[in-house]
Copies of this chain bind each other. A is one copy, B any other.
Amino acid sequence: MVSIAIDCMGGDHGPSVTVPAAISFAARESDVRMILVGGEAVLAAELARLGQSSNPRISIRAASEVVLMHDPPATALRNKRDSSMRVAIDLVKSGEADCAVSAGNTGALMAISRFVLKMLPGVERPAIASFLPTQRGRTVMLDLGANVNCRPEHLVQFAIMGSALVGAIDHNDRPSIGLLNIGEEEIKGNDVVKEAAEMLRASSLNFYGNVEGDDIYKGTTDLVVCDGFVGNVALKTSEGLAQMLAAYLREEFTRNPLSKLAALLALPVIKRFKHRVDHRRYNGASLLGLRGVVVKSHGSADAFGFEFAIQRASDEARNGLLDLISARLHAQPVDTAS
Quote the shortest CB–CB distance from A289 to chain B (angstroms): 15
- In the complex, what residues of B have CB within 8 A of residue A72's CB? 185-186
The CA of A244 and the CA of B277, in the complex, are separated in Å by: 9
Q: Is A242 interfacial (CB-CB < 8 Å)?
A: yes
Using known A-B contacts A189-B229, A229-B230, A233-B233, determine if residue A182 contacts B145 with beta carbons closer than 8 Å.
yes
Q: Is A337 interfacial (CB-CB < 8 Å)?
A: no
Quote the shortest CB–CB distance from A176 to chain B (angstroms): 17
Of residues 42 through 101 on chain A, the ones whose CB sits less than 8 Å from some CB of chain B are 70-74
- Do B148 and A189 touch (CB < 8 A)? yes
Contact of A266 among B71, B236, B263, B276 (CB under 8 A): B263
Q: Is A253 interfacial (CB-CB < 8 Å)?
A: yes
- Do A272 and B252 touch (CB < 8 A)? yes
- Do A255 and B226 touch (CB < 8 A)? no
Q: How many copies does the complex hold?
A: 2
Total interface residues in chain A, CB < 8 Å: 74
Could you list 28 A-B pairs, sorted by A, with CB under 8 Å?
A: A72-B186, A73-B185, A111-B186, A134-B244, A135-B243, A145-B182, A148-B190, A149-B190, A183-B236, A184-B232, A212-B232, A213-B233, A213-B237, A213-B240, A214-B237, A214-B240, A217-B237, A218-B240, A229-B230, A233-B233, A233-B234, A234-B234, A237-B237, A238-B238, A248-B273, A249-B273, A262-B262, A265-B265
Top 8 A-B pairs ranked by shortest CB distance?
A213-B236, A214-B240, A213-B237, A107-B186, A217-B240, A182-B232, A262-B266, A217-B244
Point out residues on A near B: beta carbons under 8 Å. Answer: 70-74, 105-108, 110-111, 133-135, 145-149, 180, 182-187, 189-191, 212-218, 226, 228-230, 232-245, 247-249, 252-253, 255, 258-259, 261-263, 265-266, 268-270, 272-273, 276-277
